[in-house]
Amino acid sequence: MRHSKNIAIFIGSLRKESLNRKIAKALIALAPESLSLKIVELGGLQMYNQDLEETLPAEWMEFRNQLKDFDGLLFITPEYNRSVPAVLKNAIDIGSKPNGKNAWDKKPGAVVSVSPGAIGGFGANHHLRQSLSAVNIPTMQQPEAYIGNAAALFDDRGELINDSTKSFLKKFMTEFAEWVERNSVQGKHIVQEVQLTPSVIN
């Protein structure tokens, strides 16, 4: 039986009318029932400075603690100068420290990049994957999600109105639910160990 999974959503834009936030909301609406999704706000996180590890900012502590409650991580990012916006990279850095207490460790993740441009934030998507690999987040490879021409996908109220994008995002979330199920720490408990008999006996 599929268990309900708590998923954190991180959005790499602080803009009120953010296209990435609109996509995040659409993803929440299109997700299978087995996922419970929550947007974790990143705008209040002080810039990472290793000196502050001595006198931890309260919001860093809260952010690190919060991560423990999630079974999966969904990163939704704009592209800034062909890379990841600072606000998102800052959150990744804060969650990864101090040494030995990487809060991201082994939590399954996925990336969606969103841009009004035609390339759909490809550069940011893959730069982000490099950091996710460093903090040991097993990140879904397929389907990839590069949402291009994103300004044309919504109505005046910010609702996603493009049917083919809707059906793609629905499929993406179904695959992501499977990914989380297969890669969650809980899931690993049901994998049986196989004892191999040596084929050559000296």
Given the complex with ligand FNR, which of 71 and 79 has the nearer CB atom?
79
The two structure tokens encoding residue 39: 């947007």
To the nearest whole angstrom, how small is the minimum distance from the Cβ of residue 81 to ligand FNR?
5
Residue 171 CB, shortest distance to ligand FNR, in Å, is 22
**From CA 120, how far away is CA 116, in angstroms rounded?**
7
Which of 10/80 has CB closer to ligand FNR?
80
From the CB of 36, what's the least distance to ligand FNR, in Å? 23
Residue 72 CB contacts under 8 Å (≥ 6 apart), including other chains: 5, 6, 7, 8, 35, 107, 108, 109, 110, 176, 179, 180, 184
Shortest distance (Å) from residue 162 CB to ligand FNR: 16
Residues that bind ligand FNR (CB under 6 A): 13, 15, 18-20, 78-82, 115-117, 121
Distances from the Cα of 195 to the Cα of 31, 42, 65, angstroms: 38, 46, 37
Specify the residue, 34 or 83, whose C-beta has the smaller distance to ligand FNR. Answer: 83
| Separation CA 158–CA 70 (nearest Å) | 27
Residue with Cβ nearer ligand FNR (53 or 159):
159
Comparison of 150 and 177: residue with beta carbon closer to ligand FNR: 150
Q: With beta carbons less than 8 A apart as the criterion, state whether 124 and 13 touch.
A: no
CB of 119 to ligand FNR, least distance (A): 6
